[in-house]
C-alpha cells in the first residue's frame, strides 16, 4: 500500500484541511506553546512553538512514526543491521562515538576493537604532530594543515574547524575541495612547504577532484622539497589502501575508515583528523561525546520528547502536508557559517530520492531543498523572500545563547535579530497602509539553541540533524545511505575527458565539443 493511502497519512491530511480552514493566527498566539513545544537537554534546546501545528498535529505525526516503524529501524541501525540495502552495508557512524566497548557485529565480526585501534593511532599521531615529534622533512614542526577532500570528506571537517576555531592552537587549517585549481593554488601560495602537512581524505580514493588537488599538492611539494618529503608531509584517510599506496602515501601514514560509514556521516572517524590536529585530542573527544549524548537521547527519550524525531516529523508536516518545497538553515553565528552547506549534503544526498526501499516510485514529496547562510547576513540577501515571497519557506534558526568570545553588543544584536525574524515570520503584520507592506505571517520556524558553541554542543547539534535525516528517510521509506544519483554525471564527465584528451583538441570551444558528444 502506498504511504499516502495509509491511515496515519490520511488522518494527517484530514487534520491539515481542518486546521487550514480554521487559520493559524489564533493558535500561534497562545503563550503556553513556548513551554509546551520545547525540548531541552544538556545545553541544547529545540523550540517549535512557531510551527503551524497543534498538539493534535503532533499526536498524528507520532502515529505516522509508529506506523512507519521508526523505533524498529532505529534499533536496526544502532545494532549493525545492513539497512543500507542497495550497497549491502551496515550504517554505524554511531559506533564511532560510542565509548563503551560492547561488541557491535558486522558480518559476525566485532568492529569495536578496530575502531579503538584506529582512534588510538589517530590520537598518537595528533599528539606527535602537535608536540613537534612528527616534523617536516627539514626538521621544522608543522604549522599548516591542508585538508584535501570533497563532499563528506570536506564539509564536516571544514564546518567543525571553523566552529571550533577558538579551541584550536598551533596550526592554521586550510580546506581544499574544488576541481578548479584556483582553490589549491590559493592555499599553496599562503603556506610554507617545510611546515605544511597535507591530509588527503577520500573514502574511495578515486574521487576526481580530490585526486587532482592531491596531485597538484604533491607536485608542488616535490618541486620545493624533493620526492622524499612526500612520506613526511602527506597522510591519507581512506578505505582504499591500494590506491593510497599507488599515490605514494605509505601504508603507515594511512588511517582507515570503513564501508559502514557513509561519507556524509564520517566526521567522527579519522576523516576528522584535520579537526583533531587543530583542536587536540581532548577537544575532539568532547565532540564525539556530544554526538554520543545525542545518540543516547535519540535511543531512549520518549518519542514525543525526542528531539531528532520531532524535528523530522515537523519537516515532514511542512513538506508533505503544508507543501513547502524548501528549508532555510540560518545559523546566527559566524562560526557556524558552513552549517547550511554541511546540512545540504547530509539531508539532500541522504533523502534526495524518489524510489522507495522496495523499488517503487514515490507518489509523495521527499527532501526539500535546503539552503541558507549566516544570520544576519541572510537578512540582507534573501529574507525578503522568506517574509513576503509567494512560497512560504520554513526555517531553522540556530542560535548560541552564551558567547563569551563575542562583543556583548554584537551578541545581543544577533539574538535580538534572530528573535525578531522568527516573530515577524510567524505573526506578520496584517494592517498596513499599502498592500506591499502587509506581511502574511504564519511562516513556520524552529529555534535550535546551543547554550555554548563548544565541541560537545557541536557534536550534539550535528548528531541531531543526522538522526533527523535518518528518521525522515524511514518516514519516506527511502534508503538514506546510498547516493546512486551522483554516478551518471561522474561517468559522463570521465568519458568526455577521455575523448578530449585522446582527440588532443583542447580549444576554446571545448564545452561546445562536449555538448555535441552528449546530445543523443
**Comparison of 295 and 349: residue with beta carbon closer to ligand F6P:** 349
Do the Cβ atoms of 450 and 401 come closer than 8 Å? yes
**Comparison of 177 and 307: residue with beta carbon closer to ligand F6P:** 177
**Comparison of 263 and 375: residue with beta carbon closer to ligand F6P:** 263
Least distance (Å) between residue 340 CB and ligand F6P: 17
**Comparison of 119 and 483: residue with beta carbon closer to ligand F6P:** 483
**Comparison of 305 and 492: residue with beta carbon closer to ligand F6P:** 492
Eight-state DSSP code of residue 361? B
**Comparison of 239 and 296: residue with beta carbon closer to ligand F6P:** 239
Least distance (Å) between residue 249 CB and ligand F6P: 14
Query: Alpha carbon of 49 to those of 33, 294, 422, 432, 520: distances in Å?
Result: 5, 22, 10, 26, 52
272 Cβ neighbours under 8 A, 6+ residues apart: 156, 157, 160, 266, 284, 287
Task: Look at phi and psi of residue 359 and say left if phi exceeds 0, alpha if psi is from -120 to 50, else beta.
Answer: left
Least distance (Å) between residue 483 CB and ligand F6P: 5
- Residue ranges of alpha helices (H) inside 248-326 are 273-300, 307-316
Is residue 376 packed enough to be buried (19+ CB in 10 Å), middle (13-18) or exposed (0-12)?
middle
* CA separation for the pair 425, 440 (Å, rounded): 8
Report how far Cα 256 is from the mean position of its chain's Cα atoms. Answer: 21
- Please name the helix (run of DSSP H) or strand (run of DSSP E) that holds residue 100, with its range, or none: none
- Residue 56: active-site member: no
Catalytic option among 380, 430, 497, 498: 380
Q: Helix/strand/coil (H, E, C) string of 412-477? A: HHHHHHHHHHHHHHHHCECCCCCHHHCECCCCCEEEEEECCCCHHHHHHHHHHHHHHHHHHHHHHC
Query: Alpha carbon of 459 to those of 268, 341, 369, 401, 462: distances in Å?
Result: 9, 17, 24, 17, 5
**Comparison of 39 and 150: residue with beta carbon closer to ligand F6P:** 150
- Residue 430: active-site member: no
Report how far Cα 199 is from the mean position of its chain's Cα atoms. Answer: 20
**Comparison of 151 and 331: residue with beta carbon closer to ligand F6P:** 151
Eight-state DSSP code of residue 355? B
Catalytic option among 190, 430, 490, 498: 490
Catalytic option among 209, 292, 347, 349: 349
* CA separation for the pair 315, 320 (Å, rounded): 8
* CA separation for the pair 190, 168 (Å, rounded): 19
Angle (CA) 299-303-308 rounded to 5° is 65
Q: Which residues bind ligand F6P (CB under 6 A)?
A: 150-153, 202-204, 207, 210, 263-264, 349, 483, 486
- Residue 380: active-site member: yes
Least distance (Å) between residue 488 CB and ligand F6P: 11
Task: Copy the grid coordinates of residue 420.
Answer: 525578531
Is residue 22 packed enough to be buried (19+ CB in 10 Å), middle (13-18) or exposed (0-12)?
exposed
Least distance (Å) between residue 209 CB and ligand F6P: 8
* CA separation for the pair 69, 71 (Å, rounded): 5
Least distance (Å) between residue 489 CB and ligand F6P: 9
* CA separation for the pair 20, 391 (Å, rounded): 16
**Comparison of 403 and 466: residue with beta carbon closer to ligand F6P:** 466
Is residue 41 packed enough to be buried (19+ CB in 10 Å), middle (13-18) or exposed (0-12)?
middle
Eight-state DSSP code of residue 389? S
Catalytic sites, residue numbers: 349, 380, 490
Amino acid at each position: 500500500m502506498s504511504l499516502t493511502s495509509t491511515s496515519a497519512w490520511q488522518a494527517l491530511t484530514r487534520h491539515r484541511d481542518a486546521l487550514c480552514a480554521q487559520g493559524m493566527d489564533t493558535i500561534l498566539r497562545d503563550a503556553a506553546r513556548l513551554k509546551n513545544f520545547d525540548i531541552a537537554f544538556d545545553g541544547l534546546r529545540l523550540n517549535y512553538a512557531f510551527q503551524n501545528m497543534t498538539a493534535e498535529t503532533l499526536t498524528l505525526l507520532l502515529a505516522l512514526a509508529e506506523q512507519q516503524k521508526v523505533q524498529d529501524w532505529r534499533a536496526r541501525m544502532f545494532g549493525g543491521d545492513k539497512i543500507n540495502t542497495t550497497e549491502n552495508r551496515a550504517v554505524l557512524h554511531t559506533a564511532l562515538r560510542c565509548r563503551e566497548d560492547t561488541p557491535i557485529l558486522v558480518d559476525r565480526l566485532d568492529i569495536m576493537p578496530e575502531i579503538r585501534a584506529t582512534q588510538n593511532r589517530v590520537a598518537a599521531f595528533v599528539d606527535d604532530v602537535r608536540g613537534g615529534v612528527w616534523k617536516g622533512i627539514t626538521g621544522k614542526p608543522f604549522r599548516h594543515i591542508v585538508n584535501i577532500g570533497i563532499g563528506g570528506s570536506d564539509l564536516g571537517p571544514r564546518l567543525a574547524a571553523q566552529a571550533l576555531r577558538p579551541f584550536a592552537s598551533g596550526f592554521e587549517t586550510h580546506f581544499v575541495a574544488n576541481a578548479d585549481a584556483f582553490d589549491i593554488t590559493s592555499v599553496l601560495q599562503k603556506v610554507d612547504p617545510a611546515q605544511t602537512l597535507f591530509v588527503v581524505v577520500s573514502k574511495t580514493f578515486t574521487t576526481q577532484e580530490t585526486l587532482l588537488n592531491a596531485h597538484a599538492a604533491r607536485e608542488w611539494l616535490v618541486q620545493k622539497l624533493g620526492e622524499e618529503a612526500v612520506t613526511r608531509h602527506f597522510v591519507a584517510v581512506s578505505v582504499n589502501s591500494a590506491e593510497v599506496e599507488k599515490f605514494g602515501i605509505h601504508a603507515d601514514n594511512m588511517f582507515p575508515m570503513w564501508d559502514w560509514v557513509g561519507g556524509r556521516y564520517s566526521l567522527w572517524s579519522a576523516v576528522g583528523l584535520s579537526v583533531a590536529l587543530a583542536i587536540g585530542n581532548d577537544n575532539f573527544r568532547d565532540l564525539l561525546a556530544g554526538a554520543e549524548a545525542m545518540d543516547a537521547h535519540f535511543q531512549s527519550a520518549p518519542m514525543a520528547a525526542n528531539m531528532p524525531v520531532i524535528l523530522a516529523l515537523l519537516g515532514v508536516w511542512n513538506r508533505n502536508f503544508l507543501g513547502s518545497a524548501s528549508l532555510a538553515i540560518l545559523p546566527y553565528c559566524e562560526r557556524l557559517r558552513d552549517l547550511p552547506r554541511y546540512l545540504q549534503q547530509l539531508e539532500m544526498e541522504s533523502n534526495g530520492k524518489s524510489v522507495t526501499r522496495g523499488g517503487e516510485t514515490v507518489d509523495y514529496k521527499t527532501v526539500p531543498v535546503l539552503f541558507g547562510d549566516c544570520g544576519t547576513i541572510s537578512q540582507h540577501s534573501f529574507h525578503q523572500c522568506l517574509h513576503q515571497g509567494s512560497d512560504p519557506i520554513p526555517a531553522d534558526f540556530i542560535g548560541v545563547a552564551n558567547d563569551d568570545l563575542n562583543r556583548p553588543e554584537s551578541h545581543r544584536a544577533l539574538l535580538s535579530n534572530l528573535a525578531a525574524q522568527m516573530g515577524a515570520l510567524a505573526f506578520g503584520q496584517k494592517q498596513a497602509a499599502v498592500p506591499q507592506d502587509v506581511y502574511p505571517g504564519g511562516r513556520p520556524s524552529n529555534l535550535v539553541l546551543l547554550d555554548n558553541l563548544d565541541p560537545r554542543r557541536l557534536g550534539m547539534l550535528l548528531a541531531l540533524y543526522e538522526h533527523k535525516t535518518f528518521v525522515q528517510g524511514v518516514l519516506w521509506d527511502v534508503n538514506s545511505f546510498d547516493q546512486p544519483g551522483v554516478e551518471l554525471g561522474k561517468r559522463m564527465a570521465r568519458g568526455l575527458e577521455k575523448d578530449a584528451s585522446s582527440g588532443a583538441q583542447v580549444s576554446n570551444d571545448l564545452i561546445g565539443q562536449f555538448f555535441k558528444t552528449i546530445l543523443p
